[in-house]
Amino acid sequence: TQLLEQSPQFLSIQEGENLTVYCNSSSVFSSLQWYRQEPGEGPVLLVTVVTGGEVKKLKRLTFQFGDARKDSSLHITAAQPGDTGLYLCAGGAGGTSYGKLTFGQGTILTVHP
Amino acid sequence: NAGVTQTPKFQVLKTGQSMTLQCAQDMNHEYMSWYRQDPGMGLRLIHYSVGAGITDQGEVPNGYNVSRSTTEDFPLRLLSAAPSQTSVYFCASKGTNYGYTFGSGTRLTVV
């Protein structure tokens, strides 16, 4: 069974601060996906990284996939109250299990004005 | 463009009752999955399908049944509801891209 450890579980910061969320595993994933979830809604895909060492930027969000494809990070620069939500990382399996996702526990981010 | 539609949005069951959670997608996606979400545990995979007629178990399949007779529909059946199955259930689908599209969820309470 593949496991993904996501940290921190809770993050409460002031508007304008920077933050980083981490996802770590002892398993290799074929892809690493990041989702954001609002209360009462399903997760919405933010980005997918598939190549070891890959870095993707989405406005103030920077996503990185570890060289060995076992870990990933999400960095938010100058956080805003609109960034508040649940952030989830998910590792995609390969081979005969392609399409299966393993989720981390999630990080609840609160950005105070 | 409906995406992934889940019904019902809320449901209360008594212990031992059975029910079916419906999921339909209109994007012609081959892959479909059911997850449950519990506080502090992220989303856990219940069952999974790579196409019509093909299903496989996920991490927490006990007490749940699925079938995939068409590409569009992937219902989840609770055989005999237990309080431990109180959760929020999400259906998701994906096509050739990596990312999944999720429905808005079914909040189930078993009393």
- B57 pLDDT tier (thresholds 50, 70, 90): very high
Q: Name the phi and psi angles at B84, rounded to 5.
A: -65, -10
Interface contact A51, partner B, CB < 8 A = no
Number of C-beta neighbours around residue B106 at 10 A: 22
Interface contact B41, partner A, CB < 8 A = yes
Number of C-beta neighbours around residue A60 at 10 A: 13
Q: Which residues on adjacent β-strands are paired with residue A88?
A: A35
pLDDT at B89 over 70: yes
State the pairing for strand pair A107-112/A10-14: parallel
Partner residue facing A42 (CB), from B50, B90, B94? B90
Rounded mean pLDDT, A26-32: 92
The span from the CA of A100 to the CA of A83, in Å, is 27
pLDDT at A96: 74
- A111 pLDDT tier (thresholds 50, 70, 90): very high
- B1 pLDDT tier (thresholds 50, 70, 90): low
Interface contact A96, partner B, CB < 8 A = no
pLDDT at A112: 97
Q: Name the phi and psi angles at A66, rounded to 5.
A: -60, 155
> Which chain B residue's Cα is nearest to A50?
B98
Rounded mean pLDDT, B2-22: 96
Partner residue facing A48 (CB), from B50, B98, B101? B98
Three-class DSSP category at A96? helix
Instruction: Read off the pLDDT of residues A67-103 as tens digits, 9 standing for 90 and up.
Output: 999 999 999 999 999 999 999 999 998 777 777 899 9
The span from the CA of A71 to the CA of B75, in Å, is 33
Structure tokens at B26: 């209109």
* Set of chain B residues whose Cβ sits within 8 Å of the Cβ of A50: 98
Residue B71 contacts by C-beta under 8 Å, 6 or more apart in sequence? Answer: B28, B29, B30, B51, B52
The span from the CA of A64 to the CA of B67, in Å, is 37
* Set of chain B residues whose Cβ sits within 8 Å of the Cβ of A99: 31, 33, 48, 50, 94
Q: Which residues on adjacent β-strands are paired with residue B44?
A: B36
The span from the CA of B45 to the CA of B91, in Å, is 10
The dihedral formed by the CA atoms of A63, A76, A41 and B26, expressed in degrees to the nearest 10? -30
pLDDT at A2: 75
Partner residue facing A48 (CB), from B45, B90, B99? B99
Interface contact A33, partner B, CB < 8 A = yes
Asked if B33 and B100 count as a contact pair (C-beta separation under 8 A), the reply is yes
Asked if B85 and B72 count as a contact pair (C-beta separation under 8 A), the reply is no
Partner residue facing B103 (CB), from A42, A92, A100? A42
State the pairing for strand pair B4-7/A101-103: unpaired
> Which chain B residue's Cα is nearest to A7?
B40
